[in-house]
Structure 1
Amino acid sequence: MLRTPSPSARKSRKQGRRSPLATISLIAAGLLFTGGAYAAFSTTTANAETPAAVTTASVEDGAKLFAANCASCHGLDLEGTAEAPSLIGVGAAAVDFQVGTGRMPMQAHGPQAPEKPVQFTEDQILSLAQYVATTAPGPGIPDESLLDGEGDTANGAELFRINCAMCHNVAGAGGALTQGKFAPPLGGVAPEHIYEAMVTGPQNMPVFNDANLSPEDKRDIITALKFIENNPSPGGNELGSLGPVAEGLFLWIFGLGTIVAITVWITARSN
């Protein structure tokens, strides 16, 4: 027999239902938690960068330098043109790398910008970087603690072999790419420029953000590269560090050539 719920049971069931405000509160709490976690992660990432003292005068100097040397290609508003990409959001690190290595301003359009003598002073480069960084957030110039070359050499060498050696060669000697492009040699490159290249991905290089390689991982890679640079090949002439192809070619040409020459000399004497 069906029983009709008593008034007290109906009242209890009604009170047990979730209020619409509870759902809204849960959504708000979830958004607050997510935003807090993202802010914490962003703060941790920003700690790897050194915010240089930004002054109004420095930014204004950077704007003047940009208008005189860069705007013809990148546009006065930094949004790019048909000749060059937008610079909004590239950060101070990209400017410090491109201008600090002489790649920018480019002398002529080509497959990629080659390294050449730097055309600006350090203060001018910093002003340009600060001006571009004011347009939108982006990677900053790395902290000196990440550039000291005191990281884990073994870990850095392993990370370099996994992530970089296919283009730059296992010894950092550089290598050819397609369509006239190339991965430059890394010997003699300043540590800050190596770090900035990893976080900005210039030319054909991919971007290695902190989710791919942590700041400490980047420090280890720099340490490994400086170890290779400061410790010449213990096996003798490294033949450009080009690997077994160059070594095999050397043996074929000079090794077998020497054997043939000796054979001819011995035969000539017997005759």
Structure 2
Amino acid sequence: MTDTQARGAGGVQSVDRAFELLELVADVGGEATLSQLAEASGLPQPTIHRLLRALILGGYIRQQPSRRYSLGPRLIRLGETAGKVVGASARPHLTQLRDLTGETSNMAVLDGDQVVYVAQVLSPHAMRMFTEIGERVDLHCTAVGKAVLATLSPAETDRILSRITMSPRTIHTITDPAVIREEIEFIREQGYAVDDGEQEIGVRCFAVAIPNAHTPAALSVSGPQARVAGLDMDIIIPLLQETAARLGRDLSAAN
């Protein structure tokens, strides 16, 4: 390897490591200490410190007065733009899903310890669920959130559940960590998640994970409980899974 090639390889490695640090900070809720990052990444602290200084200068990381490191404001613009691009890619799939089910279709991605809606196609019915693009919702009480949790390893699921406050949104919300762990395991086995009035009374939602997504993500259909309860599960679940598979292939091909 020539000196130029060696410098190039070292530069690529530094970029890879910088992105890894950003991901690790995001994985622990957006804020971490130097020792946490060293333990999670296996990198020497001097190397991490050097990479963090570069990220701080670029506005991608902030150092708090407590000396903890948090995600920086420059990531907001990147995230918003990326969300719009992903949402545009998802819209044809969501439109087809909405047309076949008659209900609002959604796409949401994991963002810290919540999921954020990045795309939506509304039901033609006057009575429907309204969830705005960009809205963040909790993992433990939404079908998209539970579907995303089911894609993670049990260890990562446990880390997230240990950080979040499982507040009750309705009388149906699961607030016991042991019960939600059982629910997640059941979702892994059956391949889909259900929110039956857990986030909002009178609203029912079915969701499946999007395979091959670089960021854990899910598709869902949702609407008034009385109307969605009439959907044929033997039709709606395979339809969701087929749509998610096609979207996953499109998103993978675009990278």
Whether the TM-score (by the shorter chain) exceeds 0.5 is no
Structure with greater strand percent: 2
Higher helix fraction (1 or 2): 1
TM-score (norm 1): 0.21
Larger Rg: 1
